[in-house]
Amino acid sequence: MTNEMIKRCAAGGPKLSQREQILGGVIMALGALILAAAYVVLRKFYHARPAVEALSYMSMPGMFLLYTQMAYLRRHRASTQVVTVGGGLALLYLIFWGACEIAVRL
């Protein structure tokens, strides 16, 4: 599996059709809207707590992760995609939450 991915990256990455590119862009935009709406609502109720701020900081790298995983995992089962993308987003959130907690304490 790893060698196959390395060869595909060396050849220019996965070949996406125009439909797949549009679908990836739409999902990325919807994800960004959902994260932005969640941030606005949480910011209203909880103000500038580190857990809320981490949500805003992870939005851009999170959407990049979402789009790239749509490209590389499009032929895999939906459960594989959900676990991979969900785990990656959760890890990003924890990293940014930790950074925000450290920044508050300094």
What percent of the chain is predicted at pLDDT more than 90?
Answer: 40
| CA nearest neighbour of 29 among 76, 81, 78, 70 | 70
* Lookup: tokens for 54: 């981490």
pLDDT value of position 15? 75
User: Is pTM, for the whole model, over 0.85?
Assistant: no
**Alpha carbon distance, N-terminus to C-terminus of the chain:** 44
Domain boundaries, the chain: 15-105
Q: What is the pLDDT of residues 25-77, one digit of tens each?
A: 888 899 889 999 999 999 999 998 999 999 999 988 988 888 877 777 878 88
- State yes or no: pLDDT of 12 exceeds 70: no
Per the listing, tokens 């999902």 go with 27
- Distance (Å, whole) CA 78 – CA 35: 21
- Distance (Å, whole) CA 47 – CA 15: 43
Residue 95 pLDDT class (50, 70, 90 cuts): very high
